[in-house]
């Protein structure tokens, strides 16, 4: 009789994508595709614009989600009446919980670098937060916890807790590995969703992923990571699966139709007061 096959304790790559579009913005995940499989992670853009074009981003609305912006290259400047002013570079984060409705898109402007690269992630919020008050944070790199090669953007790693006010049950890490360096990320046992995306370099070995790719990871246990000869810079994430359907509007994601209608009504009401807030320079998150 043959011995039973050993159960793998490593997560494996189930699917990879290079997304849609071309520079400056590549859409790697949307609520209508991989977001259905990776929720609460429902949207991911890899952006690589010239920093000078940041001011061209139009002001736009959201409800029902949170956005998380990290840079893997370069820096941006923020100037906010609540958070003050400063710089978001590698290891820093902009967090914006849209909740019941917000307009944003011009809260950061060109920093000192001629080129930037990074990721913007959307999270589907749980019912108790999807129509809650707006919450935003700008946290500079020196105020973020670092464990080994990873900055803890959301959640917790080896006792280090991110200061970002994100829902529980979500980890999101920004990591850089030197050429050939090995590192293993072990998600909490109840995290049944996991993925990673590469902005620079590549990973080899058990998990093979290249620049510009997102990899959906399946199975249980650890995620063994090894950088190629050129090194690797990437985000890796895990979470407890969002148990709700995704009910989507144009810029919104909710758990049910009534919540979406409430969020979109709030967005429309804010729009009536928005013109007075517009200007040629940075515009703080507009929450009414």
CA distance 135 to 145: 21
Question: In 3D, which of 201, 197, 195 has the Cα closest to residue 228?
Answer: 201
Q: Is a pLDDT exceeding 90 seen at residue 57?
A: no
**Superfamily per CATH, domain 12-275:** Jelly Rolls (2.60.120.10)
Query: How much is the pLDDT for 85?
Result: 86
Structure tokens belonging to residue 199: 């902005």
What are the domain boundaries of the chain? 12-275
Distances (CA, A) of 222 to 113, 158, 170, 217, 228: 36, 14, 16, 10, 19
- The pTM of this model reads 0.92
Tell me how far apart the alpha carbons of residues 163 and 126 are, in angstroms, rounded to a whole number: 19
- pLDDT confidence of 173, banded at 50, 70, 90? very high
Q: Are 14 and 217 in contact, with CB atoms under 8 Å apart?
A: yes
Cross-strand bridge partners of residue 119: 46, 70
Over 60: is that where the pLDDT of 207 sits? yes
For residue range 217-243, list pLDDT tens digits in order: 999 999 999 999 999 999 999 999 999
Q: Classify 154 as helix, strand or coil.
A: strand
Token pair belonging to 127: 């019912």
State the chain's mean pLDDT as an integer. Answer: 90
Tokens coding 61:
């609305």
Confidence at 287, pLDDT banded by 50, 70, 90:
low
């Amino acid at each position: 009789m043959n011995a039973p096959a050993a159960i793998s304790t490593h997560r494996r790559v189930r699917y990879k994508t290079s997304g849609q579009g071309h520079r400056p913005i590549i859409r790697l995940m949307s609520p209508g595709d991989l977001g259905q499989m990776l929720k609460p992670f429902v949207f991911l853009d890899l952006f690589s614009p010239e920093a000078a074009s940041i001011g061209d981003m139009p002001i736009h609305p959201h409800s029902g989600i949170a956005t998380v912006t990290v840079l893997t290259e370069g820096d941006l400047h923020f100037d906010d009446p609540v958070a003050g002013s400063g710089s978001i570079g590698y290891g820093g984060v902009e967090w914006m919980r849209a909740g019941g409705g917000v307009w944003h898109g011009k809260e950061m402007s060109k920093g000192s670098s001629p080129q930037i690269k990074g990721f913007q992630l959307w999270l589907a919020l749980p019912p108790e937060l999807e129509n809650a008050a707006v919450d935003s944070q700008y946290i500079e790199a020196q105020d973020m916890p670092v464990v080994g090669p990873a900055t803890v953007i959301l959640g917790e790693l080896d006792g280090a807790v991110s200061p970002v006010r994100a829902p529980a049950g979500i980890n999101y890490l920004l990591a850089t590995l030197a050429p050939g360096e090995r590192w293993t990320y072990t998600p909490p046992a109840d995290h049944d969703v996991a993925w990673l995306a590469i902005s620079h370099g590549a990973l080899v070995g058990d998990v093979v992923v290249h620049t510009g790719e997102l990899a959906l990871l399946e199975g249980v246990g650890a995620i063994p990571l090894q950088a190629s000869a050129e090194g690797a810079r990437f985000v890796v994430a895990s979470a407890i699966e969002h148990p709700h359907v995704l009910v989507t509007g144009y810029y919104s994601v909710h758990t049910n139709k009534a919540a979406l209608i409430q969020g979109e009504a709030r967005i429309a009401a804010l729009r009536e007061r928005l013109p007075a807030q517009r200007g040629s320079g940075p515009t703080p998150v507009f929450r009414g």
